[in-house]
Chain A
Amino acid sequence: MPNAAPMLRLEGVAKSFGPVAALRSGTLVVRPGSIHALVGENGAGKSTLVKIVGGVHRRDAGVVELDGTPVDFGGPAEAKAAGVAVIHQEPASFPDLTVTENIYLGREPLRRFRRIDRRAMRDGARELFRSLGVDLDPDRPAEGLSIADQQIVEIAKAISLDARVLVMDEPTAALSAVEVRRLFTVARGLRDAGRAVVFISHRLDEVADLCDTVTVMRDGAHVSTDAVADVTPDELVRRMVGRDVAELYPKVPSTPGEVALRVEGLESTGTFHDVSFEVRAGEIVGLAGLVGAGRSEIARAVFGVDRYDAGRVVVGGRVLTPGDPAAAIAAGLALVPEDRRLQGLVVESSVARNVSSVALRRRRAVLLPGAEAELARDWAGRLAVKAGALDADATTMSGGNQQKVVLAKWLATHPKVLIVDEPTRGIDVGTKAEVHRLLSGLAAQGLAVLMISSELSEVLGMADRVLVVREGRIVAELDRAAATPEAVMRAATPGASAVAEGGAA
């Protein structure tokens, strides 16, 4: 129904936070029975627009219409009641409650005397999952659900509310390929049922695969809306960044040198088994696999954050003490963790303090502000960190710049081996290329890089060699020529070679 009347229409929507205009002129027209992609760099105003649609923020100006009726939501509850549901990237669920309770919270079916009708509730949940074509136990607690399953619970909740507009805010960022495929099947089902779906993603291949219409935003304003078939991904990227992206994966060829990191028979009961590999100086080794396959756990054990039961880690000829990150740092190992807000960055601290936190700790007992600033200026300059001032809090920066600060922090220790876990997760296209160029340049200078990434094209584009992890084991080692998307996916997906070929569903 491409020509049906719009289900959701936003025009010229604006929102400012203090002096900062987060959204200048947001325009989005979504029709029923359509999956509409919303793309743009971080800071383009997508999230603000979504929050206005979802009732989290109130707009300053512009029109929002639902089914032709102007609306102005005072809160998330109002938006939900009107039939707009936002599925967040990492949904907020209640771990102590069951899946069923999570779906029906606040509007449980009631029996006499306003008592909750648990049986009706459970049957309802079961029916919802059946209609979505997914297999989830309605009685299990939400604790321990994968992010993908949490999103499914959110979608089930939205459908039980009879949401007509579902906004998925970067739902696939933390999902494995199989989970993405399941989500797409669910999204197509919603589309075929005549609902309107807004799909936000950084991954243009997903946009091409799933969506029928695509709206590009840049700098808080609408750029273009087209049928997906009418625009090429290159053209979309050009519109998003407003300039040509020279090359997304600027891999500099390099000649591997000495073995910088050797891992032998690393074993951690229940997490990973018999992990052995080498990374040479000047080499980028990609660690590919599904989310939850144990890649981050391996990295954390190698770095000494987590303990392991057997095996050893050798850096530059020295065997590292298990469970001692300080020894790892001293030996020349650096780890840029997956979640920079939680593990890599002291977001409330200044950029200077963040950059110098590891390097200076090793040398002096007392930190001199002058030394901090000097070190920070040096590295911020090299990495092109855009921060108003080095004494600004890291929390005020964009995700891309935060990532650069974390990188700077570790590079200031002059490591021999750099482990990066999801280095470009949640970073916009422009900054992504900068991070890639940086990693590639560092490898060319002789740094050994171990890169974990869930984005297949990133691994394939950047790595000299690819190690595939499946269920805690390294199941394949592919050199640059042999590492095709199909080969990696086939190795990474448990027990289903059919998935790699014909699983587009």
Chain B
Amino acid sequence: MSLLRRREAGIALALLLVIGVTTVVQPGFLFSAGGWRDLLLTPAILVVLAVGQAVVVITRNVDLSVGSVLGLTAYLTGRLFIDAPDLPLVVVALAAVAAGTLLGLVNGAIVAFARVPALVITLGTLYVYRGVTLTWAGSDRIDAGDMPRAFLRLGTQQVLGVPVLTIVAAVVLAAVAHYLHTSRGGRQLYAIGSDPAAAALAGLPVRRRLLGAFALGGALAGLAGVMFAARYGTVSSGAGTGMELQVVGAVVVGGVAIFGGSGTVAGAALGAMLLLTINRALPVVGIPDFWQRAVVGALIIGAIALDRVLATRRSRRLAAARDADPPGGTTAVGPAAPGPDHDRTRTEEATA
């Protein structure tokens, strides 16, 4: 547990470092109204997506369709404003979230019942959902003028210096983190990702949990769609294209193991913030475009390498602990005090 905490602290530190260095080069990066706002506002959508993706990845699955879900729900949001101008904002937002949930459920149902790897299924629905948007929207585009002023204001408005979208992302993060940590269902998601076969043997409701994870991922992608519409004011049929890779990258950088079972949504959120902040910081410090992409790539590879190193070190430490304390040292055997020979081996291992 302490290891995991340290992992999140590490990302937070990296994030502060990036912000610090960039601010030294260009003080306006942090110390200006716009700089402060961008710092918090830019990652908000990706954070929401990353939280949803983290929940799916923890179950040893992946949802590649989130970019398409975002596009579809963002377009739906705009469409509703045009076609049903009398609907309250909340109802429109809920409709988009519900649509996202439904799309997530489709993913989850195929994964849970047909037992086809999520990578393949969601790659398929990535194209299907995008296809729906393309057919529906055509070359049509929703502009700021089509949406109510009050809605668009949410995209930029701040409360006590914090953008509304950032508050939404923070609330989502806190709620999901709380669920994962303190509820039975949350712990079961970790168990399923840790060993799916064992989860079924243990009688856990695996299918229901997988459906739930994908539904939550879809719902959050739907919410991200609403946020996207509010933030950018224009929605074309291509909205959110390629975003799935950014999201998976954020989750991996955030220390959520791609093989499931470990990691936290807080880490994933920090990963999202780190990726986007670096993206904005590199041009400021004058690093050319090619290197900007390479840095993001290096970050992802570095995160996975770090995971491997940590995992290897941990299993070695646990194995060493087992050697140092063999099951002979329990009450079942009685006076099995470790002899001098045994102690010597232990010190050797400690020094090695």
Using a CB–CB cutoff of 8 Å, the interface residues on chain A facing chain B are 75-77, 80, 92-97, 101, 105-108, 110, 114-116, 133-135, 140-141, 143-146, 148-149, 176, 178-179, 181-182, 185-186, 269-270, 290, 292, 471-472, 493-496, 498-499, 503, 505
Contacts and interface: CB of A to CB of B under 8 A. Distances in A.
Interface of B: 182-184, 187-188, 190-191, 193-195, 197-199, 201-204, 257, 261-262, 314-316, 318-323, 326-342, 345, 349, 352
A270 B330 contact: no
Contact of B194 (A94, A116, A498, A499): A94
B262 A493 contact: no
A312 B199 CA distance: 45
Secondary structure dominating the interface of B: helix
A270 B350 CA distance: 10
Given A95-B261, A96-B193, A105 B328 contact: no
B341 A495 contact: yes
B283 to A, nearest CB: 39
A144 B326 contact: no
Contacts of A496: 328, 333, 335-337, 339
Given A96-B190, A144-B315, A495-B336, 12 more contacts: A93-B198, A94-B261, A105-B188, A105-B191, A134-B331, A144-B321, A176-B327, A494-B339, A495-B338, A495-B342, A503-B333, A505-B334
A178 B342 CA distance: 15
Contacts of A146: 322, 327
Given A97-B190, A143-B318, A494-B342, A178 B331 contact: no
Nearest to A179: B327
A76 B198 CA distance: 12
Contacts of B329: 135
Contacts of A178: 326-328, 333, 336
Secondary structure dominating the interface of A: loop
Contacts of B314: 143-144
Closest 3 CB pairs of A and B: A144-B318, A495-B339, A77-B203
Contacts of B191: 94, 97, 101, 105
Contacts, number: 146
Nearest to A108: B184
Contacts of A503: 333-334
Given A115-B182, A496-B336, A135 B194 contact: no
B270 to A, nearest CB: 20
Contacts of A148: 327
A151 to B, nearest CB: 10
A182 B333 contact: yes
A185 B191 CA distance: 30
A105 B202 contact: yes
A89 to B, nearest CB: 13
Nearest to B181: A116
Contact of A181 (B315, B332, B342): B332
B198 A94 contact: yes
Contacts of A495: 336-342
Nearest to A152: B327
A290 B198 CA distance: 27
B35 to A, nearest CB: 39
A97 B187 contact: yes
Contacts of B198: 92-94
B240 to A, nearest CB: 31
Contacts of B345: 471-472, 494
Contacts of B182: 115-116
A105 B187 contact: yes
A185 B188 CA distance: 32
Nearest to A177: B328
Q: Which of B321, B322, B327 has the most CB of A within 10 A?
A: B327
A494 B338 CA distance: 7
Nearest to B316: A270
Contact of A92 (B188, B195, B335, B352): B195
B101 to A, nearest CB: 22
A494 B188 contact: no
Contacts of B316: 270
A270 B333 contact: no
B332 A114 contact: no
A141 B318 contact: yes
Given A143-B315, A471-B345, A493 B321 contact: no
Given A96-B262, A97-B194, A143-B314, A182 B327 contact: yes
Contacts of B323: 292, 471
Contacts of B183: 114-116
Given A94-B198, A95-B261, A116-B184, A493 B330 contact: no
A93 B318 contact: no
Contact of A116 (B187, B321, B342): B187
B195 A135 contact: no
A472 B323 CA distance: 11
Contacts of B315: 143-144
